[in-house]
Structure 1
């Protein structure tokens, strides 16, 4: 596995996508930066991180064996890899907030941004960006954020944690190659934040409603049981979990 270490970059995902476009990104290539000046999250959000305190890295994976319709299984595999790596590090009360934020004790400690490279309706590669709060303790203006240091009381070695996450990514991508889709989906759903708990949501039209998260579809849509035991299916931009 080759790792490119940078002092600062606008976005490790952008950097790795450029290498992919040039044909120089081999399977497993990782890019890590001490500082991201323009880190990105899901749906155009910004990922902010203090320099040298946290992990901001991206890894390129060959996913040519995955059908376009199964793309969300990539997200499941990565979420589970981060979950397992953190569990092995002694972090508890971990949940996956759909689609792929990682929480501990109901506070966000990691975010994942997956950008697939699609050519002729085939996913040829996946650029997986991971931001993980490690040794940062000050989250002014971000009351819903935490870090491994705040959770465990221990200062962590960034290289060791990245190595643990990358090893778990390899493990879970082997599940993808072996087409263990049912197992991946079952594990992912078992760790879903607020699954089977009364929750409040807001849809794309701004309407607020109550329901229960019951799982996800094979395409990655969130399945919510609402009044009358009706199951509604929501895509990423169609619903927000309020509480």
Structure 2
């Protein structure tokens, strides 16, 4: 939902060639323009699934992009968009409100999932996932009902809930 909100806000600025990179990045022409970090904790009842507390961090490269990253990066101004952080925040808040209504406390997950997949980079194609202890190469199949990435490696369908995603022909800036 958060990634779609960022996508919607940036798309509303007229930016072309946008794609989502699982699990939490927005790309323009294959380069990262935004990243999202989400942390959760049990809510007041202490039960993880009952009203968890969320902290969502969203970074958008507006006027500059870092050079020393494992994945190519870009910024909005490099694509002809000049916007202030407050104006971008207002657009993001509007997009987030619309996606939260669509999400409807999880009842709209399938629609969110389908919208995410329609904007995802690499579905049906080759993908490399770097985990802390292994590298998996295969085909990006889909997202499962919990949002985990499904990758077919040989005859095995694996579900990945955390990892670094790379696509063929995407230059890696370092071997992090």
TM surpasses 0.5: yes
- Which protein has greater RCO, CA pairs closer than 8 Å, 6+ apart? 2
Q: Pick one of 64, 67, 91 that aligns with 1:140.
A: 67
Deviations 1:103-146 (A, max 9, x none): 1111111111112241321234322111111112x633246111
Task: Provide the rounded CA distance (Å) in 2 between the counterparts of 1:159 and 1:209.
Answer: 40
| Partner residue, 1:214 | 141
TM-score, L = length of structure 2: 0.82
Deviations 1:184-205 (A, max 9, x none): 1101112222111122333443
Work out which of the two has the higher radius of gyration on C-alpha atoms and give 1 or 2. Answer: 1
- Residue 169 of structure 2 corresponds to residue 242 of structure 1: no
- Residue 70 of structure 2 corresponds to residue 156 of structure 1: no
- Residue 150 of structure 2 corresponds to residue 223 of structure 1: yes
| Partner residue, 2:26 | 102
Deviations 1:2-46 (A, max 9, x none): xxxxxxxxxxxxxxxxxxxxxxxxxxxxxxxxxxxxxxxxxxxxx
- The SS at the match of 1:123 is coil
- The SS at the match of 1:215 is strand
Task: Provide the rounded CA distance (Å) in 2 between the counterparts of 1:198 and 1:140.
Answer: 26
Q: Pick one of 188, 197, 202 that aligns with 2:125.
A: 197
Task: Provide the rounded CA distance (Å) in 1 between the counterparts of 2:166 and 2:102.
Answer: 33
- The SS at the match of 1:141 is coil
Unpaired runs of 5+ residues, structure 2, are 168-176
| Partner residue, 2:158 | 232
CA 1:209/1:128 → structure 2, altered by over 3 Å: closer, same or farther?
closer
CA 1:115/1:203 → structure 2, altered by over 3 Å: closer, same or farther?
closer
CA contact (8 A) 2:21 2:165 kept: no
**More helix per residue: 1 or 2?**
1
Deviations 1:44-80 (A, max 9, x none): xxxxxxxxxxxxxxxxxxxxxxxxxxxxxxxxx1111
CA contact (8 A) 2:67 2:73 kept: no
Instruction: Summarize the alignment of residues 1-243 of structure 1 with structure 2, pairs less than 5 Å apart.
Output: 77-119=1-43, 120-121=46-47, 122-136=50-64, 139-142=66-69, 144-152=72-80, 154-177=81-104, 179-206=107-134, 208-228=135-155, 230-236=156-162, 239-243=163-167
